[in-house]
Structure 1
Amino acid sequence: MKSWCALAVLSLAYLCHGALSCPPLCKCYRRRAEVVCNEVPLTEYPSEGLWQNTTLVTLQFTNITSISEQQLSATPLLQGLHLYSNHLQNLSAHLLRGVPHLDTLDLTGNQLSVLPADVFDHAPLRNLVLKNNAIEKADAEWLPDNSSITWLDISGNSLTKVPAALLQKLPHLENLDLANNRLDQISANSLDLLNKLERLNLRNNKLDTLDASVFQSSRNLTYLFLSRNNLNKLPKNLFQELSQLKLLCLDENQLSHIPAGLLDPLSSLEEEGLDLTSNPWLCDRKVRYLWGWLQKNKKKVFLPESIVCARPQSLEGRSLMSLTERELNLQS
Structure 2
Amino acid sequence: MKSWCALTFLWLAHFCHGALSCPALCTCYYRRAEVVCNEVPLTEYPSKGLPTNTTMLTIQFTNITSISEQHLSATPLLQALQLYSNHLQDLSPDLLRGIPHLHTLDLTENKLSDLPAGVFSHAPLLNLVLKNNLIENADAEWLHGNSSITWVDLSGNRLTKVTAALFQKLPHLDNLDLSNNRLEKISANSLDPLTKLERLNLQNNKLITLDASLLQSTRNLTYLFLSRNKLNKLPQGLFQELAQLKHLSLDDNQLSHIPAGLLDPLHSLDEEGLDLTANPWLCDSKVEYLWRWLQKNKKKVFLPETITCASPQSLVGRSIMSLTESELNLQS
Residue 136 of structure 1 is matched in structure 2 by: 136
Residue 173 of structure 1 is matched in structure 2 by: 173
The alpha carbon displacement at 1:7 in A equals 5.3
Residue 76 of structure 1 is matched in structure 2 by: 76
- Write out per-residue CA displacement over residues 98-127 of structure 1, whole angstroms, 9 at most, x where no aligned residue: 000000000011111111110001100000
Residue 195 of structure 1 is matched in structure 2 by: 195
* Structure 1 counterpart of 2:46, one-letter code: P
Structure 2 CA distance for aligned equivalents of residues 311 and 261 of structure 1: 23
* Structure 1 counterpart of 2:73, one-letter code: S
Structure 1 CA distance for aligned equivalents of residues 8 and 191 of structure 2: 63
Residue 16 of structure 2 is matched in structure 1 by: 14
1:58 aligns with 2:49: no
Structure 1 CA distance for aligned equivalents of residues 202 and 269 of structure 2: 19
What are the equivalent positions in structure 2 for 1:22-37 lying under 5 Å apart? 22-37=22-37
* Structure 1 counterpart of 2:322, one-letter code: S
Structure 1 CA distance for aligned equivalents of residues 252 and 108 of structure 2: 26
Structure 2 CA distance for aligned equivalents of residues 167 and 153 of structure 1: 13
Residue 313 of structure 1 is matched in structure 2 by: 313
1:324 aligns with 2:329: no
- Write out per-residue CA displacement over residues 241-297 of structure 1, whole angstroms, 9 at most, x where no aligned residue: 000000000000000000000000000101000000000000000000000000000
- Write out per-residue CA displacement over residues 81-106 of structure 1, whole angstroms, 9 at most, x where no aligned residue: 00111111111112111000000000
Matched residue of 1:48: which SS? coil
Structure 2 CA distance for aligned equivalents of residues 208 and 245 of structure 1: 22
What are the equivalent positions in structure 2 for 1:98-177 lying under 5 Å apart? 98-177=98-177
Matched residue of 1:317: which SS? coil
- Write out per-residue CA displacement over residues 166-218 of structure 1, whole angstroms, 9 at most, x where no aligned residue: 01100000000000000001111111010000000000000000000000001
* Structure 2 counterpart of 1:186, one-letter code: I
The alpha carbon displacement at 1:58 in A equals 0.3
TM-score, with structure 1 as normaliser: 0.97
What are the equivalent positions in structure 2 for 1:269-308 lying under 5 Å apart? 269-308=269-308
Residue 257 of structure 1 is matched in structure 2 by: 257
- Write out per-residue CA displacement over residues 110-157 of structure 1, whole angstroms, 9 at most, x where no aligned residue: 111111110001100000000011111110000110000001000000
Matched residue of 2:291: which SS? helix
Q: Cα gap change, 1:21/1:317 in structure 2, threshold over 3 Å: closer, same or farther?
A: same
Percent of aligned positions that are identical: 78
The alpha carbon displacement at 1:12 in A equals 2.0
The alpha carbon displacement at 1:77 in A equals 0.6
The alpha carbon displacement at 1:52 in A equals 1.2
* Structure 2 counterpart of 1:108, one-letter code: T
Structure 2 CA distance for aligned equivalents of residues 268 and 22 of structure 1: 51
Residue 244 of structure 1 is matched in structure 2 by: 244
The alpha carbon displacement at 1:325 in A equals 0.5
The unaligned stretches of length 5 or more in structure 2 are none
CA RMSD of aligned residues (A): 1.4
Structure 2 CA distance for aligned equivalents of residues 265 and 99 of structure 1: 45
The unaligned stretches of length 5 or more in structure 1 are none
TM-score, with structure 2 as normaliser: 0.97
* Structure 2 counterpart of 1:170, one-letter code: L
Structure 2 CA distance for aligned equivalents of residues 285 and 89 of structure 1: 55
* Structure 2 counterpart of 1:320, one-letter code: I
Matched residue of 1:302: which SS? coil
Structure 2 CA distance for aligned equivalents of residues 222 and 9 of structure 1: 55
* Structure 2 counterpart of 1:13, one-letter code: F
The alpha carbon displacement at 1:6 in A equals 6.9
The alpha carbon displacement at 1:311 in A equals 0.4
Residue 214 of structure 2 is matched in structure 1 by: 214
Count of paired positions: 329
Residue 47 of structure 2 is matched in structure 1 by: 47
Matched residue of 1:105: which SS? strand
Residue 266 of structure 2 is matched in structure 1 by: 266
